[in-house]
Amino acid sequence: MLSCKEVAARASALIDGELTLWERAQMRLHLTICKGCSAFIAQMRVTRALTSIPVAPVAADNDARISAILAEAARRL
Amino acid sequence: MTDRGESALVVRLVAGERAAFEALYRRHMAALIRVAMGIVESRAVAEEVAQDTWVAVLQSIGGFEGRSSLASWIFAILINKARSRASRDGRMVSFDAGGEEDNLAAAFDGRGHWKDMPELWDEVTAERIVAGRTVLAQVTLAIDALPAGQRAVLILRGQEGMEAGEVCAALGITEANMRVLLHRARLTVRAHLDGLVRGVG
């Protein structure tokens, strides 16, 4: 039986689908009887979702910078 | 791999179309600065490196062959520039996952059991965080406090949605190394959010 520590160490591999069938079965077995680890895996799923949201584009007030970049690139060509 | 939309964008960039460049700039600039900040010493230097990256992107866009996505090509340029700037400034930056422990090391007793059991984040509490401090701003805050390698992996793989192989190529690390960095980065962000949930709850 995996320990909680081992389950936590494999959390990302589990939610990213990188475990083998056997490893997954071992994880499931532990998770069915361990509330703490189930909560932990759920938190890691939320964390993965929240860290996979694209950051909003920067505001369109960078005209001067964009012009400077375009001018510099043109100068160096 | 390049999809059709991206090829069209590249064609417009090669043609020197300002609107095309502006869209690209707006989409990636914040992430470029955040990744660079993990590598160089200050925000000012990171901004400089990002500006330089854009100039290099425009200069060499004609040679872009679409073997990787445009984003991963841009970030690879940024990381090269940031690293050489850091080493010029006498800073050693490694993306290696070795050495440092993850933040769960102290969470377990000698038998590998939780000392303090994690509890489900209930939605009500999560909503309160969202309303109070905006959870995404907190996520970004936590990411920006990570060491260079973890930060870069989480921004590129997560927020920029790059393929695993592209992230590895841009950072010059193995896939196994990337997985370790990604896991550790998530653990830290999770701990940050858990602290907020417990604090609010």
Helix residue ranges per DSSP H, chain B:
4-14, 18-37, 43-60, 70-88, 123-133, 135-143, 148-153, 164-171, 175-200
User: Is the Cβ pair A43, B121 closer than 8 Å?
Assistant: yes
Mean pLDDT of chain B: 88
Q: Which residues of A touch B (CB under 8 A)?
A: 3-6, 8-9, 11-13, 16, 18, 35-37, 39-40, 42-44, 46-48, 50-55, 57-60, 62, 65-66, 68-70, 72-74, 76-77
Q: Give contacts of B 100-119 with A, CB under 8 A.
A: 104, 107-108, 111-114, 117-119
pLDDT at position B52 is 96
Q: How far is CA B137 from CA B95, B123, B132, B142, in A?
A: 25, 18, 11, 9
pLDDT tens readout for residues B3-43: 667 889 999 999 989 999 999 999 999 999 999 999 998 99
pLDDT at position B49 is 97
Best residue of A41, A55, A66 to probe chain B, by most B CBs closer than 10 Å: A55
Residues of chain A neighbouring B118 (CB-CB closer than 8 A): 36-37, 39-40, 43
For residue B160, give both structure tokens: 């920029």
Number of C-beta neighbours around residue A64 at 10 A: 8
For residue B199, give both structure tokens: 């604090």
Residues of chain A neighbouring B108 (CB-CB closer than 8 A): 3-5, 8
pLDDT at position B134 is 74
Dist CA B14 CA B22 (whole Å): 13
pLDDT tens readout for residues B57-111: 999 999 998 888 999 999 999 999 999 999 999 988 888 776 666 788 889 999 9
Best residue of A33, A67, A69 to probe chain B, by most B CBs closer than 10 Å: A69
Greater confidence (A55 vs A32) lies with A32
DSSP classification of residue B104: T
pLDDT at position B1 is 43
Q: Out of A47, A59, A69, name the one closest to residue B55 (CB).
A: A69
Dist CA B92 CA A16 (whole Å): 31
DSSP classification of residue B108: B
